[in-house]
Amino acid sequence: MYRNDKVIRRYSEPFKLKILAELTIGKHTKSELCKLYSIAPTTVNVWIKKYNRKDLMNTRVKVETKDEISRIKGLQKEIEQLKKLLLKKDLDAMVEESYLEVAAEDLGFKSIAELKKVKYKALIKAKEKSKRFASLTTITHCFGLKRDAYYKYKSRADKRLILEQQIINIVRKRRKSLPREGVRKLIKSLDIDFNKVNIKVGRDTLFNVLRKHQMLTLRKKTSARTTNSYHRFYKYNNIIKDLEVTGANQVWVSDITYIRTVKGFCYLALITDMHSRKIVGYDLSDSLELKGCVRALNKAIYQAKKIKQLIHHSDRGIQYCSNVYTQILKRKR
């Protein structure tokens, strides 16, 4: 981690205890240990204060008697036990977090915090279903929680429901006159109404509340139909189903797509070479008439050099099966 172009190191708990243990034994002074492990003396002083080892501050322990040696060995054993406990706690926390992350991903939650909220919702549901055959203390104990956790969450949930209901009532009054008004406009137009009842509502909160109550105004998407396969013209069979395309100008694929504009739709007729993916002919028009497809075909034929044994493939719409279109293809065959 960097801050103002300086490296900030993070040391683990076992490493801190190891430094203090070596300082306790007295083999090295504090300055020697700092040079050996590249640690600032002030950092070691912070650790000494953190673990309440003031006896190590600016001192060096000298081992002189057998009692001191046995005491140091006892302290070393205690340190090793503490290291193991800390390591076990770190591992347990890591395993629990991994379980929660996987569960959140599989169940579709955005984060672990959102998944943990389900625990409190389940607690409230269990209390409602218990119907007095189990005490609240017993139920909360099953969830690994305390009684006050139930009351705190229920209080917050009740306040949230009251707030949501106030927001819904205000939005419904507004929607009577403007039923298609979206959330971004509602934030500005209802700002005075929210202030009257002392409610602070942001854009995301309003989105979530309206989504929960299915009150979002969805945009009506309009699309254009470009294929009409129900016509009187002859429909040719699909002969490229199992065909292996090995070169250019072997198969041309024709289709029509629409482009949305401010004034409506434009229709783009395309002819694409199946092997090279190159657009060999195109035409843009304001209607689905046959003229656009014919112009695209003529452009493709004019630019192509070798089109003998060429296969023309389409969705067999009315434009591509018409007599005018098929006659052009037959003449160039």
DSSP 287-318: S--HHHHHHHHHHHHHH-S--TT-EEE----H
**Both ends of the chain: CA-CA distance in Å?**
70
**Distance of alpha carbon 256 from alpha carbon 315, whole angstroms:** 9
Residue 100 parent element (H or E): helix 66-107
Q: Which of 22, 6, 16, 23 is nearest to 43 (CA)?
A: 16
- Write the pLDDT tens digit of every residue in 191-242: 888 888 888 888 888 888 888 888 888 776 666 666 767 788 888 888 888 8
- Residue 271: burial class (beta carbons within 10 Å; 0-12, 13-18, 19+): buried
**Taking residues 144-171, what's their average pLDDT?**
87
Of 8-17, 24-33, 222-231, 250-259, the least confident: 222-231
- Residue 214: burial class (beta carbons within 10 Å; 0-12, 13-18, 19+): exposed
pLDDT for the residue 223? 61
Beta bridge partners of 281: 271
Greatest CA separation for the chain: 114
294 pLDDT tier (thresholds 50, 70, 90): very high
Whether the predicted pLDDT of 301 surpasses 50: yes
Contact 233, 322 (CB under 8 A): yes
Beta bridge partners of 61: none
Q: Which of 174, 176, 205, 204 is nearest to 190 (CA)?
A: 174
Contact 266, 258 (CB under 8 A): yes
299: tokens are 């452009």
**Distance of alpha carbon 292 from alpha carbon 317, whole angstroms:** 14
Q: What average pLDDT does the chain have?
A: 82
- Write the pLDDT tens digit of every residue in 239-273: 888 888 888 889 999 999 988 888 888 999 999 99
Please provide the DSSP assignment of 188-215 as one string.
HHTHHHHHHTT----HHHHHHHHHHTT-
